[in-house]
Amino acid sequence: MKKIGVLALQGDFELHIKMLETMGAPACEVRTPADLRTVGGLIIPGGETTTMDRLLRFSGLDKAVSRRFRNGTLPVYGTCMGMILTAREIEEYPELFCFGFIDMKVARNAYGRQVDSFEADVKMKLGNGANGKPFNAVFIRAPQVVELGAGVEVYARHNSLPILMSQGNCLAGSFHPELTDDSRVHKFFIDNFVEA
């Protein structure tokens, strides 16, 4: 199994690494373009978008991640802030960096402030036996999809809004699976996006 990197410039990267290790998947922190060269997939965790904007540009990972993704050698999974970064556009914040891996426009913190955080059981269409019981999705200052391109596949919705989707070699979700003990989404990313 290829090593999965977790972007570790800021945010809740430690919990993603713990989830991967619990699953038996090799994992490491990614802080530099050199770190990125050692991994077969990348998870971009939740965090603070404006801070990540500066850190990505400063570290050179903005260009390094884009280059590897676009040449087909780096599948990416973004959660919460990571989902924002995978979008083509951030509503009301055109100056913030985003990779544009998925044809969608997103709104930051659209579910409310930290005190508005909530959990919801959602049904997922993950296939390969990963369906079944609902997934307990944890939303913390979560983004919402405002526009979604026709080529984007949706795996889960909450109140009719897409919350887990993919396009090409990128998976993105507005919730935090690493805050649960349910590894189905991480497993789905590894099994369906990261080559063995």
- Single-letter residue type at 130: A
16, 80, 98, 158: which one is catalytic?
A: 80
* Count of Cβ atoms closer than 10 Å to residue 34 Cβ: 10
Alpha carbons 75 and 96: distance in angstroms, whole number: 22
Q: How far is CA 58 from the centre of its chain?
A: 21
16, 158, 176, 186: which one is catalytic?
A: 176
Which one, of 3, 119, 104, 96, lies nearest residue 47 by Cα?
Answer: 96
16, 98, 170, 178: which one is catalytic?
A: 178
- 28 has catalytic annotation: no
CA 149 vs CA 34, 63, 114, 146: distances in Å: 33, 24, 29, 10
H or E stretch at 106:
strand 102-107
- 178 has catalytic annotation: yes
Measured at the CA of 112, the angle between CA 171 and CA 15, to 5 degrees, comes to 45
User: Which residues are known catalytic residues?
Assistant: 80, 176, 178
